[in-house]
Structure 1
């Protein structure tokens, strides 16, 4: 058993052999190998560094209509705990294994799982869980810098994957994950749950049917929202954290409770407001419009007001320019939350306005617009998105938030960060599948 560093995993993703993968993954003789990829890879343009992917992957069990899905969880903190609670409600899924670097979170999760599966087991190292457990699926809700290593390890073992957003921290990792999924036929769902909300599906229907004319621009303001400041949970015991597994191959630090609990503040583990907040709305914009990768992203931001040691900005402004002749404009401040959250789709003949991800208003006209319809929402729920993932595992169909969406969203967020850090535009080079700054 080994842990994979960020420097190693991209190389491993390109060159791991079938024998090596089988040696590190639990297998079942009744599993059937996948003979063709679920998503056919698009024609690959010339690349500076061609990616060579293993020809074979470990066997994947063909799930019948009555088979119970065997699921493992990697990361059971705030978000992972919520996903676990929702998954435990599903009648056809058993959570048989959980993994977390913090004893308190892991023990609490295991106790919940044992109420449904008496012999559920807990692990500290996710590679060990993948090696020992005969899983069909893995749900990943770790801090963002650990997404790619966990995803690629699960894919090597022939598991289908549900991962929290962003799919990866960097555009290079996103490309590696996308190519691996395309090569081995895995089902991968990204946890951008707005896609599974009827309200946003209605917005997509209106826009794509020409209900507001030609789209001109999208403006999203999301202010306030906590500033990535989580209080220390009751009973938190730093001695029960495997700090080395949290850091993995990032810069060495002595244990820091703020880095562990509020990791979204720090550039080593997160893309800050871009990867946490903007991506929700950017991904649903991609879903609603069906657009391609933006060729240019421009971003500004800094730590203007909150002096608590964070390294991610407390204010950002991002502009993404699309070849479809519209742009997406996002602004967020952790300091002033008076205006909250609003998403506006401005068309040549009307407007869509979504407030607090809970109410869609449809307007006709450019000025003094007439409100045609208002659509409410039951809220952001885990279950519909999880059900879509588990259903696609059985049918081998493409889920509603597939790997291509995860690749595009993660790449855009990283481009935003690279632009903010460099003071220059970040550009997508389609000829080489790479980002240039």
Structure 2
């Protein structure tokens, strides 16, 4: 059959050659040179983990807010690290091997696509996409350029999460039919509190990017995750972590249906709900998410229910409880059959996995397809919550 796009093959070859021409060939003793793009709180934590690892150095820092880029350079950069307000200046440097992208969500795909096309490997915070529609061009860019993309769902490199998955795969819980995920945080202290920023040192227009123009709003800048133009609320900030673990456990990352409800009960100044519940259907498993940003009790984690046993899994470890012989209303099972405690924060080995793959050119633990699938789950939950309450894979709502 005739190729409907005869120039596509030449375009792909050109993209690969262009990406390769920008890449620096690493020797065994070379330090991996990293640029940081979007150096807010989360990105700076990632940089702190990189600084704990060997054979890398932070040589450039970019942020739309001058105090943040200077702080990142001072704390984590080399003495001669450059600072930038325009991330493209980092991508133009042939001596930089990779970038850490910690921008607001609506910048993730534009910056990542530009980075891989410039021959850079990328560590991008989750969610890797801001909309469902961004998945296809992102996937195409990563595949065509053959760059490494590690997405920020660090449970994929966290030892006890991998061990929990193995235990479940061995049949210890029996058939798993329900995975309840939850995350509870207390944002009440933020009510009425207005963040303070020196707007003379902020490029507000550059922060907005593709979002509609508007006057500067300190809460939208400081708490962008809770505004739809820049983030996706708790579904894409918190649920993504746990649903990715569920995908890993189930071996299934394609929900057929989602139902969700949410409301703004207390945090009225924000756009995204502070209280929500969602349920996604995967084959013979339901994955639930409950969240309220009004208190810390119970924290965050997963309760995985099987026909033989249940597992409570969280960042601190996991516990397995065998099924009991009779009905009980005790909410706290006792006498765990198996207990495992976490040895360290999984962000450190996740960053190490990224650096290892920059050298080896192997696929990282949370590669682009994994990141897209986790983000998709958060997006369809939001579509259900913001729409009729129901999302179906076939387009019926």
What TM-score do the two structures reach when normalised by structure 2?
0.89
Q: 1:82 to 1:288 in 2, by over 3 A?
A: same
Tell whether the 8 Å contact from 1:96 to 1:120 is kept in structure 2 after alignment: yes
Q: Select which of 370, 382, 391 maps to 1:405.
A: 370
Q: How does 1:157-196 map to 2 (within 5 A)?
A: 157-196=118-157
The equivalent residue for 1:319 is 279
The 2-side partners of 1:189 and 1:68 are apart by 19
- Give, in angstroms, the shift of residue 367 of structure 1: 4.8
Tell whether the 8 Å contact from 2:235 to 2:382 is kept in structure 1 after alignment: yes
Tell whether the 8 Å contact from 1:227 to 1:314 is kept in structure 2 after alignment: no
Tell whether the 8 Å contact from 1:207 to 1:289 is kept in structure 2 after alignment: no
Unaligned runs of at least 5 residues, structure 1: 1-13, 19-33, 36-52, 430-434
Q: How does 1:334-349 map to 2 (within 5 A)?
A: 334-349=293-308
- Give, in angstroms, the shift of residue 411 of structure 1: 1.2
Q: Select which of 30, 44, 55 maps to 1:81.
A: 44
* Cα displacement string for residues 291-344 of structure 1 (whole angstroms, at most 9, x for unaligned residues): 13112122111212222x211011111111002x11100010112433333411
Find out whether 1:249 has 2:210 as its counterpart.
yes
The 1-side partners of 2:270 and 2:312 are apart by 33
**Pairwise CA RMSD:** 2.5
Q: How does 1:216-295 map to 2 (within 5 A)?
A: 216-226=177-187, 229=190, 236-295=197-256
The 1-side partners of 2:382 and 2:215 are apart by 26
Q: Select which of 69, 74, 77 maps to 1:111.
A: 74
- Give, in angstroms, the shift of residue 185 of structure 1: 1.1
The 2-side partners of 1:217 and 1:64 are apart by 48
Q: Select which of 83, 98, 102 maps to 1:141.
A: 102
- Give, in angstroms, the shift of residue 197 of structure 1: 1.5
- The number of equivalent residue pairs is 381
Q: 1:340 to 1:111 in 2, by over 3 A?
A: closer
- Give, in angstroms, the shift of residue 428 of structure 1: 2.9
- Give, in angstroms, the shift of residue 282 of structure 1: 0.7
- The 3-state SS of whatever aligns with 1:96 is strand
Tell whether the 8 Å contact from 2:253 to 2:374 is kept in structure 1 after alignment: no
* Cα displacement string for residues 204-226 of structure 1 (whole angstroms, at most 9, x for unaligned residues): 01111111111111011222243
Q: Select which of 354, 357, 361 maps to 2:319.
A: 361
